[in-house]
Amino acid sequence: MSAAAGAPCAGCIRFAGGRPIKPLFSHGPIPGYRMILCVILASFLMFADQRMSWMDDVRAQISTVVAPVQWVVSLPARGLSLASLALSDQTRLVNDNRRLRERLLTLSQRVQRMASLSEENIRLRELLKAAPRQEIPWLTAGLLTLDNDPFLQQMILDRGQQSGVYSGQPVVDSAGLVGQIISVSRYSSRVLLITDASHSVPVQVNRNGLRFIARGAGQPDHLTLDNVPNNTDIREGDLLVTSGLTGRFPEGYPVARVSRIVRNAGTPFATVDVRPVAQLDRSRNFLLLFTHDQLKPTRERLSPEAVDAALQVVRPDRQETRQ
């Protein structure tokens, strides 16, 4: 063996046995070129995402590929939930069962009362020759994962195009409005929460019907009302519901409650802070509402078998009774 062949490799690490290995990180001009190429590619993708509509289809296809990974990532949380339920002691389960039975009894009483109010409302609308409230079908969905970007208030659900979900679809939980769908892949969809800084929703005060715009503040438990005059009849504790003016969100769904009002003497507008009524940090099950201008295209887009599988939980006989 020649001396050149036995010379140590520059930058290599030599084990005790004498065999050299390459360093973990290589040095030289190639990594710099790769960095420049990545920067150019990232700049092109950001430009295309803002200017070219076909990027929506690309994003949807990529989301379809990533959907199984998101499902696998959500398994530990589901497993912990099932494990905590299995390890719960008997006393805790008995107390939970009793509390749920009491809540069921309370809700049953409220349903009976609201059924009477609904019939009364229908009769009054007939007397006033007012248009009846339309039925609102819905579809259930579960939480897959939350967006880990601290500057975004978004989450991903386990329903997609295969279930008839569409971009712009309203999302609610058991307490109130959660947000709206902003992108859809085949098996999952992304939701923009009402607390996101880029989200706004038209609302009205349930007590007197005054209309405002509720805007997200980028915080999980905070919204603001824009352009509220100092002399406006609004109080702490007032419930804000969707006004239905834009046609995106059905009328009458709870959005937030007024938590603080500061009437500024030096400016014409008051500072009004509100808190969302939806349990954005706890809910794992949601309802996707179908507006009537989107329900028919959804049924036409899906096959009869897909309609039966995806819309089997839709209750078309549900009457909207919120006032």
Amino acid at 86: A
Question: Would you say residue 190 lies in a domain?
Answer: yes
Q: What pLDDT, on a 0 to 100 scale, did the predictor assign at position 17? A: 55
Q: What angle, 0 to 180 degrees and rounded to 10, lies between the N-to-C axes of helices 29-51 and 54-87?
A: 100
Sign of CA dihedral 109, 173, 292, 205: positive
For residues 306 and 92, which has the higher predicted lDDT (pLDDT)?
92
Supply 308's token pair.
């039966």
Q: Are residues 99 and 192 in the same domain?
A: no
Q: How many domains does the chain have?
A: 2
| Distance of alpha carbon 195 from alpha carbon 279, whole angstroms | 12
Q: Are residues 156 and 237 in the same domain?
A: yes
Question: Would you say residue 207 lies in a domain?
Answer: yes
Question: Would you say residue 262 lies in a domain?
Answer: yes
Q: What pLDDT, on a 0 to 100 scale, did the predictor assign at position 253? A: 92
What does DSSP say about strands 177-184 and 228-229: parallel, antiparallel, or unpaired?
A: unpaired
Nearest partner of 269 among 279, 261, 260, 259, judged by Cα: 261
Residues 310, 164 contacting (CB under 8 angstroms): yes
Q: Are residues 162 and 274 in the same domain?
A: yes
Query: Is 3's pLDDT higher than 50?
Result: no
Q: Are residues 167 and 95 in the same domain?
A: no
Mean pLDDT of the chain: 78
| Maximum alpha-carbon separation in the chain | 107
- At which residue do the structure tokens 């001396």 appear? 3
Quote the domain boundaries for residue 282.
138-294
Percent of the chain surpassing pLDDT 70: 78
Question: Would you say residue 69 lies in a domain?
Answer: no
| Distance of alpha carbon 239 from alpha carbon 252, whole angstroms | 11
Residue 275, classified by CB atoms within 10 Å of its CB into exposed (0-12), middle (13-18) or buried (19+), is middle
Supply 165's token pair.
């979900």
Q: Are residues 85 and 204 in the same domain?
A: no
Of 117, 133, 149, which residue constitutes the final position of a domain?
A: 133
Question: Would you say residue 110 lies in a domain?
Answer: yes
Query: Is 289's pLDDT higher than 50?
Result: yes
Question: pTM here?
Answer: 0.65
The CATH number covering residue 245 comes to: 2.40.10.340
Q: What pLDDT, on a 0 to 100 scale, did the predictor assign at position 277? A: 93
Q: Are residues 114 and 191 in the same domain?
A: no
For residues 128 and 194, which has the higher predicted lDDT (pLDDT)?
194
Choose the most confident range, by mean pLDDT, from 47-56, 124-133, 246-255: 246-255
Q: Are residues 289 and 218 in the same domain?
A: yes
Residues 203, 240 contacting (CB under 8 angstroms): yes
Q: Are residues 143 and 284 in the same domain?
A: yes
**In the Cβ-directed half-sphere of 258, how many Cα atoms lie within 13 Å?**
23
Average pLDDT over residues 152-161: 89
* pLDDT, tens only, 185-239: 888 899 999 999 999 999 999 999 899 999 998 888 889 998 899 888 999 999 9
For residues 184 and 322, which has the higher predicted lDDT (pLDDT)?
184
Give 174-221 as a DSSP string: SSSEEEEEEEE-SS-EEEEETTSTT-EEEEEETTT--EEEEEE-SSTT
| Distance of alpha carbon 32 from alpha carbon 152, whole angstroms | 32
* pLDDT, tens only, 79-126: 777 777 777 777 778 888 888 888 888 888 778 777 777 888 888 878
Nearest partner of 239 among 259, 262, 217, 215, judged by Cα: 259
Q: Are residues 229 and 113 in the same domain?
A: no
Q: What pLDDT, on a 0 to 100 scale, did the predictor assign at position 317? A: 39
Q: Are residues 267 and 197 in the same domain?
A: yes
Residues 268, 257 contacting (CB under 8 angstroms): no
Q: What pLDDT, on a 0 to 100 scale, did the predictor assign at position 319? A: 39
Q: Are residues 286 and 147 in the same domain?
A: yes
Residues 298, 164 contacting (CB under 8 angstroms): yes
Q: What pLDDT, on a 0 to 100 scale, did the predictor assign at position 170? A: 93
Question: Would you say residue 323 lies in a domain?
Answer: no
Q: Are residues 125 and 220 in the same domain?
A: no
Question: Would you say residue 215 lies in a domain?
Answer: yes
Read off φ and ψ for residue 190, nearest 5 degrees. Answer: -105, 135
Provide the 3-class DSSP secondary structure of residue 128.
coil
Question: Would you say residue 154 lies in a domain?
Answer: yes
